[in-house]
Chain A
Amino acid sequence: MNKYFTQLAWLACLSVLLPAVVAAQPPAAEIAKRSLDGFYSAGRDMRVRVSMTLINQQGGGRKRELTMLRKNMGSGSEQRYYMYFHAPPDVKGTTFLVWKYPAKDDDRWIFIPAIKLVRRIAASDRRSSFVGSDFTYEDISGRDVSDETHTLLRSETLEDRPCYVLESRPVASADYARRVSWIDSERWIPLKEEYFDGRGQKTRQFSADRVEEIGGHWTVTRRTMRTLQTGQRTEVTFQEVSYDQSLPDNLFTERSLREPPSLAR
């Protein structure tokens, strides 16, 4: 009798919990989450030398070179980023620090070496351009899975890779109405993304041009973002990528802005 009662109780519990679990973690959100984690949070920390080339319709190019350090802080998507600019020459030595939080605006600081000034900068717009490129701040440091609602459209192969095709719509109003992404279903990184405006026009397109496994993490080491209205694109190359170097917390402080660590130079 007692055993029968326990089984019943379990069943009752399951019948209540199971739909809740399914509703809270539908496959589409799970795919989006794994892709965001794989793309923006791989490892405990990361160091990379980033080369950016901004290419306009006439083929003219501008270059940005920086070292980026990233550390994941505890649980959730709290992260810290430190950037040291090597080029162009006029901004050489400029450093940039971002403390990124899951549910509130980033804290951002910039250090201008010519006047030895650390300035805090207002940072409520994550959709603004990062250093004039076609990438936004959010494209560089990621977004929360809950910033968008996700729908799994289909599964298909993209350039010989098995992919989930996911549609994501921003919860709050943004400069795009929906985003369709092709997510590698084995490596959990986006291989292609298309952004559409409210009228259904494609506005931006992301492509992962080279993918390598580094330190056990699948890493997009070459990527391009195209802004379709202007015909402009930005190509980004990751070099000297390393993960899990136990970057100390004190690298991500105001002091490091003023005194760039040798690791970042």
Chain B
Amino acid sequence: MRSTLAAKVGLLALLILMQSFSAAANAADIGGFAQVNYAARISGVPCPPAGPCDFLLGDERLQLKVEGATEQGRSGFAAKVDLFQDAVQDRSDIEVREVFVDLTGKHAALRVGRQIVTWGVGDLLFVNDVFPKDWMALFTGRPMEYLKVGSDAFKLNLHTGAIEAEIVVLPFFQPDRYPTSDRLLLPDPFPPELPRLEEKKERSLENVELAGKLSRYVSDWGLSLYGARTFYRTPAMALDDPATPTAVLLFYPRLNTYGSSATGSLLGGVAALEGAYLDSEDDRTGTNPAIENSMVKILAGYSYPLWRDATLGLQGYSEWLLDYGAYQANLPAGFPPRDERRWLATARLTQLLWNQTLTGNLFAFWGVTDHDGYLVPSVRYAATDNVWVEVGGNLFAGRNPHTMFGALDKNDNVYATVRYSF
């Protein structure tokens, strides 16, 4: 993400040029927002001497969005670039969120470039969505769109009759932005004095990732089949030499995903079902404790209107490790074992008020088997057509630091965001 000053100035100049060009030719739409987003930890945990302190976010950014299309819609483009100042880490930078070109034919549409792809029917639970995500953004109270990270990709959509196919080719591996201890207080099972060496995937053809989806409607139910050959986007961690370790290795093993989903109307609400088999190719025997077991993920969700402008969404989710015996047998001493089946339930309550200008939202994760939880309350007020203000929190609970939300337990935070859109 870091770039040279010259690159930054060049990009800025390009954006200004595009703006003046578009003003002259009326060929493109310019929009975007200015946004301020602060978050502070409220867990009362003292700041570690060298680690992150109470402020998690001090983010001020300008997003410029330029998009255009030819008259008949046969071709088009879009670019979304953020210029930001991070007051917590005292740096400013640019982030290219999306830049892509579209070519559209009668039965095919090609989108090339950095783009956001979202698959699946879950609400904040991802089964077949194999594309990069920013978990740090979610846990520190950044707006929801920042949970998704753009993929540099070729995306081809083909449609013949009732069936639609989507093929995504990702030439450059991109990991998730997972929680790290530069901003969050996290437990670390490995010796802190050892350096961390993160794998940088070679930009080789062998490392090109592929994902495909087939969709169709049967009556008013949307059905999809998914298949993907990718890598895990959160790193596996292992000591370079268990006997005399000199470093902790972070690496991204192979992952093949095969799944399906269905969503449709049911009894006045919307039902969603999704499942997948995750083939952990680099550890099919399940004997490598650093690499995830192959597993089956299942999700069932239902959302329905409670009363006027209020919706309740419920989800049940399970992960089932397929080589649990081998996993247990090879787990190093001192590492607490995961459950063979992990169950999670979520609830989302949304209420709109004041002519839908005020949105109250409460999202709750409950780790049924992990005995942990995560609560995200928020209130957003659209003060004018251009400005909204949101305040909210990220509250974690869990006694065991090896569970997902237990690990984040010291990072309870509140956040505030103000955005002016233009």
Contact B265 A105 (CB under 8 A): yes
Cα A52 to Cα B217 with chains together (Å): 33
Considering the complex, give the chain A residue whose CB is closest to the CB of B354.
Answer: A132
Contact A132 B357 (CB under 8 A): yes
Cα A117 to Cα B117 with chains together (Å): 8
From known contacts A115-B118, A116-B117, A120-B270, infer whether A92 and B308 are also in contact, taking CB-CB under 8 Å: no
- Choose one: A89, A99, A127, A133; the contact of B385 (CB below 8 Å): A89
**Interface residue stretch chosen among A11-19, A238-246, A254-262:** A254-262
Cα A127 to Cα B395 with chains together (Å): 36
Contact A129 B386 (CB under 8 A): no
- Choose one: B116, B270, B386; the contact of A88 (CB below 8 Å): B386
Cα A255 to Cα B73 with chains together (Å): 14
Contact A122 B270 (CB under 8 A): yes
From known contacts A122-B303, A255-B164, infer whether A63 and B265 are also in contact, taking CB-CB under 8 Å: no
Tell me how far the C-beta of A58 lies from the nearest C-beta in chain B, rounded to whole angstroms: 13
Which residues from A are CB-within-8-Å of B272?
Answer: 120
Which residues from A are CB-within-8-Å of B31?
Answer: 89, 92
Tell me how far the C-beta of A172 lies from the nearest C-beta in chain B, rounded to whole angstroms: 13
Contact A128 B109 (CB under 8 A): no
Which residues from A are CB-within-8-Å of B215?
Answer: 254
Considering the complex, give the chain B residue whose CB is closest to the CB of A263.
Answer: B73
A residues 44-58 near B (Cβ < 8 Å) are 54, 56
Task: Name the residue in A114, A128, A254, A255 with the highest tally of chain B Cβ atoms < 10 Å from its Cβ.
Answer: A114
A107 interface hit (Cβ, 8 Å) = yes
- The 0/1 profile, CB within 8 Å of A marked 1, for residues 396-422 of chain B is 000000000000000000000001011
Cα A56 to Cα B385 with chains together (Å): 14
Cα A261 to Cα B422 with chains together (Å): 23
Contact B145 A89 (CB under 8 A): no
Contact B355 A132 (CB under 8 A): yes
Contact A90 B109 (CB under 8 A): no
Considering the complex, give the chain B residue whose CB is closest to the CB of A232.
Answer: B355
Tell me how far the C-beta of B249 lies from the nearest C-beta in chain A, rounded to whole angstroms: 33
From known contacts A90-B388, A115-B116, infer whether A120 and B263 are also in contact, taking CB-CB under 8 Å: yes
- The 0/1 profile, CB within 8 Å of A marked 1, for residues 244-276 of chain B is 000000000000000000011100111010000
B3 interface hit (Cβ, 8 Å) = no
Which label, helix, strand, loop or mixed, suits the secondary structure of the B interface? Answer: strand
Contact B104 A259 (CB under 8 A): yes
A155 interface hit (Cβ, 8 Å) = no
- Choose one: A62, A122, A261, A262; the contact of B305 (CB below 8 Å): A122
Considering the complex, give the chain A residue whose CB is closest to the CB of B263.
Answer: A120
Considering the complex, give the chain B residue whose CB is closest to the CB of A54.
Answer: B355
Cα A121 to Cα B305 with chains together (Å): 9
Cα A249 to Cα B386 with chains together (Å): 35
Considering the complex, give the chain A residue whose CB is closest to the CB of B150.
Answer: A116
Which residues from B are CB-within-8-Å of A127?
Answer: 308
A208 interface hit (Cβ, 8 Å) = no
A contact residues vs B (CB 8 Å cutoff): 54, 56, 62-63, 87-90, 92, 99, 105, 107, 114-117, 120-125, 127-129, 131-133, 232, 254-255, 259, 261-262, 265
B contact residues vs A (CB 8 Å cutoff): 31, 33, 69, 71-73, 102, 104, 109, 115-118, 144-145, 147-148, 157, 159, 164, 215, 217, 220, 222, 263-265, 268-270, 272, 303-305, 308-309, 311, 352, 355-357, 382, 384-386, 388, 419, 421-422
Give 15 A-B pairs besides A122-B269, A261-B73, A262-B72 with Cβ atoms closer than 8 angstroms: A62-B384, A92-B31, A107-B265, A115-B144, A116-B118, A120-B265, A122-B270, A124-B269, A124-B305, A125-B308, A129-B356, A132-B357, A255-B159, A255-B164, A259-B109
20 A-B residue pairs with CB within 8 Å: A56-B355, A87-B385, A88-B386, A90-B385, A90-B421, A92-B31, A114-B145, A116-B115, A116-B118, A120-B265, A120-B270, A122-B270, A125-B305, A129-B355, A129-B356, A131-B356, A132-B356, A254-B217, A254-B222, A262-B73
